[in-house]
């Protein structure tokens, strides 16, 4: 019996084959992909609620260093919150005033723009005549005689319905944003402690607190540096508009300062505005193209060289990553997503840097030595 017991097979751990590892990794990737798709669907279909709340959280964290400074000088938290809300209201009001002036200026001169484009772009007349000839030929082939222009005459009821349909979600989003900003600013410190207490180990809690501090500091530093750079861009744009001979150069400078917070799309809007006004005011097409060309050169120099070198390597974001982030969040959340694309990318970069830093070997000894 003892011999039979000694001959019993002993279980041996056999490593998983390469095919098994491939299946496990594939299932993990598929699970992560399904989660990302479901998260994108949630963000898209619930954007009317999630987007304003995310915007409020980002803006509240931008005021994080100021909140710590106000607490150090014993400023009451409700007074600080009201001051921050007032500052945000002033900034939004300035944006709407500049945007309204630009739109009213362009809308009141649409006939002049068409006449100026027709008279100053004489070299395009043969191309326009060729296009019209092709259009008339297709119209004749289709049996409709000559090409006719499409005229749309909307009724008053449809116009009012469209305005109500557009303004109702926008008004709800604005209310959600300001209410969320109020409560986020009021409970910045308690939110930090609540998230830190979710972890059991003291090292993880300390890392979470440091991550919140780094996000606030990076956002505040980014906004401060970008504000100074945008102010310089606005001054240069106003100077270019004045030297070229455009009317009201301060309007173009203010538009460049405010719109430059939105990468790519903001400078493109300013260039389009300058070109349209120059096309009406300036005598030749070459002079109308001079100011937009100079502004494009200034924005290229600022976006590709000045901003990355001033912010530093720690906050430098890849232009490709910024472009992809803007494209994704614009598709997901519209204009608000365009405005939030760069801050969201900056927060994600900060989180990744801290997570990668914690996972490095010997990080605990290095971190304790740098305190």
pLDDT tens-digit map of 217-251 = 888 888 888 889 899 999 999 999 999 888 888 88
Q: 61-65, 80-84, 167-171, 301-305: lowest mean pLDDT where?
A: 167-171
Judge whether 311 lies within some domain: yes
Task: Work out the pLDDT band at 97, boundaries 50, 70, 90.
Answer: confident
- Own/partner pairs, 220-229, CB within 8 angstroms, 24+ separation: 220/62, 220/63, 220/64, 220/65, 220/66, 221/311, 221/315, 222/311, 222/315, 222/343, 222/346, 223/62, 225/307, 225/310, 225/311, 226/260, 226/261, 226/307, 229/260, 229/302, 229/306, 229/307, 229/310
**287: which residues sit within 8 A by CB, 6+ positions away?**
244, 245, 278
Judge whether 365 lies within some domain: yes
Instruction: Report d(CA 294, CA 232) in Å as an integer.
Output: 14
- Measuring CA to CA, which residue among 197, 182, 173, 208 is closest to residue 57? 182
Neighbour-count burial for 190-229, b at 16+ CB within 10 Å, e otherwise: ebbeeebeeeeeeeebebbeebbebbbbbbbbbbeebeeb
Judge whether 30 lies within some domain: no
User: In angstroms, what CA-CA distances link 80 with 125, 316, 362?
Assistant: 61, 31, 41
Q: Which two tokens stand for residue 3?
A: 């011999």
Q: Which two tokens stand for residue 132?
A: 């019209």
Burial category of 327 from C-beta neighbours within 10 Å (exposed 0-12, middle 13-18, buried 19 and up)? middle
Please state the pTM of the whole predicted model: 0.71
DSSP 8-state assignment for residue 270: H
CB 84 within 8 A of CB 185: yes
Q: Which two tokens stand for residue 182?
A: 């109020």
- Whether 160 shows a pLDDT value over 60: the answer reads no
Instruction: Tell me if residue 109 falls in helix, strand or coil.
Output: coil
Neighbours of 289 (CB within 10 A): 15
Instruction: Report d(CA 137, CA 146) in Å as an integer.
Output: 8
Judge whether 161 lies within some domain: no
Judge whether 299 lies within some domain: yes
Instruction: Say how many domains are in the chain.
Output: 1
Give me the residue label for tokens 């990668």: 356
Q: Which two tokens stand for residue 206?
A: 């300390």
Give me the residue label for tokens 């938290």: 77
Q: Which of 35-49, 196-210, 315-329, 355-369 has the highest mean pLDDT?
A: 35-49
CB 294 within 8 A of CB 314: no
Give me the residue label for tokens 């109500």: 164
Mean pLDDT of the chain, nearest integer: 76
Task: Work out the pLDDT band at 190, boundaries 50, 70, 90.
Answer: confident
Judge whether 201 lies within some domain: yes
**Alpha helix stretches (DSSP H) within the chain:** 2-6, 18-45, 47-62, 64-72, 77-107, 110-120, 125-141, 156-186, 188-196, 202-244, 249-259, 265-281, 285-301, 307-311, 319-333, 335-359, 363-369
Position with higher pLDDT, 343 vs 126 = 343
Burial category of 68 from C-beta neighbours within 10 Å (exposed 0-12, middle 13-18, buried 19 and up)? middle
Neighbours of 291 (CB within 10 A): 23
CB 326 within 8 A of CB 261: no
Predicted local distance difference test score (pLDDT) of residue 231: 92
| Structural domain that includes position 207 | 47-120+172-369
Position with higher pLDDT, 23 vs 312 = 23
Predicted local distance difference test score (pLDDT) of residue 115: 63
């Amino acid at each position: 019996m003892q011999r039979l017991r000694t001959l019993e097979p002993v279980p041996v751990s056999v490593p998983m084959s390469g095919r098994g590892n491939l299946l496990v990794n594939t299932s993990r990737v598929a699970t992560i992909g399904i989660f990302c798709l479901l998260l994108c669907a949630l963000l898209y279909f619930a954007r009317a609620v999630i987007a304003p709340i995310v915007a409020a959280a980002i803006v509240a964290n931008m005021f994080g260093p100021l909140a710590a400074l106000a607490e150090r000088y014993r400023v009451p938290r409700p007074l600080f919150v009201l001051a921050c809300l007032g500052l945000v209201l002033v900034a939004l009001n300035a944006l709407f005033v500049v945007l309204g002036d630009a739109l009213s200026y362009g809308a009141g001169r649409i006939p002049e723009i068409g006449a100026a484009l027709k008279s100053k772009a004489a070299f395009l007349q043969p191309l326009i005549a060729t296009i019209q000839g092709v259009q008339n030929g297709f119209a004749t082939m289709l049996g409709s005689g000559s090409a006719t222009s499409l005229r749309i005459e909307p009724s008053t009821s449809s116009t009012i319905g469209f305005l109500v349909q557009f303004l109702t979600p926008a008004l709800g989003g604005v209310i959600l944003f300001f209410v969320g900003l109020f409560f986020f600013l009021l409970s910045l410190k308690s939110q930090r402690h609540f998230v830190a207490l979710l972890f059991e180990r003291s090292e993880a809690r300390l890392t979470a607190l440091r991550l919140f501090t780094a996000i606030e500091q990076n956002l505040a530093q980014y906004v401060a540096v970008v504000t100074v750079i945008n102010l310089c861009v606005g001054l240069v744009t106003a100077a270019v508009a004045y030297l070229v001979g455009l009317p009201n150069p301060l309007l173009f400078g203010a538009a460049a300062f405010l719109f430059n917070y939105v990468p790519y799309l903001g400078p493109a809007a300013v260039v389009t505005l300058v070109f349209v006004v120059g096309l009406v005011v300036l005598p030749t097409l070459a002079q109308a193209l001079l100011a937009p060309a100079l502004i494009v050169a200034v924005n290229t120099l600022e976006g590709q060289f000045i901003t990355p070198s001033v912010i530093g390597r720690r906050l430098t974001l890849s232009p490709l990553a910024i472009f992809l982030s803007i494209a994704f969040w614009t598709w997901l959340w519209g204009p608000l997503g365009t405005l939030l694309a760069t801050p969201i990318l900056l927060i994600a970069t900060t989180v990744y840097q801290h997570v990668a830093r914690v996972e490095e070997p010997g990080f605990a000894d290095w971190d304790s030595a740098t305190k």
